[in-house]
Amino acid sequence: MTERFKHMDAEDLSKLIDYVVKHDTGSKSVSEICEELYLTRDEFDEIYNLAMPAIRGYNEGRFWRTAYSQFESAISNALIGKKSLEKKLEAVDNVLKRKSLKAVKEERLKGWSAA
C-alpha cells in the first residue's frame, strides 16, 4: 500500500473506491480520474485492485438486468399480434426454449453477453 493510502482513514479510501467503481463503465478515462483525484498511476492501480470486487458485482448486476429485460421483451413480443391463444402459447413456448434462464446462465458462465 502506498504511503499516501496508509495514512488515509477507511471512509476516505472507500470514497475513492466508490468513485472509481462509478466511473469504470467508460464515462471517464483513467487519466481523467487520476487528474480529478490527484492520483499517480500506481495509486490508481492500487485503488482499482481494491475496487475490483465491487466492479465485478456491478457488472454482474448489469448483465442480469439486461438479460431479464431482453427476456421480458421477447415474451411481450411473442404475445403481441397473435390472434389465438394457441398461437400465443406457441410463441411464448418458443421464447422459453430459445431464451431460458438456464441458457442465459450458460452464456454468462462462458463469458458471452446476453445479447
Instruction: Tell me what the mean pLDDT of segment 16-42 comes to.
Output: 85
Coil, helix or strand for 25?
coil
User: Domain for residue 8, yes or no?
Assistant: yes
pLDDT band at 99 (very low <50, low <70, confident <90, very high): low
Instruction: Read off the pLDDT of residues 50-65 as tens digits, 9 standing for 90 and up.
Output: 888 888 888 888 888 8
Measured on CA atoms in the order 72, 74, 75, 81, is the torsion positive or negative? positive
Compute and round to an integer the Cα radius of gyration of the chain: 22
Domain of residue 77, residue span: 3-110
User: Domain for residue 59, yes or no?
Assistant: yes
CB 34 within 8 A of CB 44: yes
Instruction: Read off the pLDDT of residues 77-89 as tens digits, 9 standing for 90 and up.
Output: 888 877 888 888 8
Structural domain total, the chain: 1
pLDDT at 114: 46
User: Domain for residue 115, yes or no?
Assistant: no
28/9 Cα distance (integer angstroms): 25
User: Domain for residue 29, yes or no?
Assistant: yes
User: Domain for residue 10, yes or no?
Assistant: yes
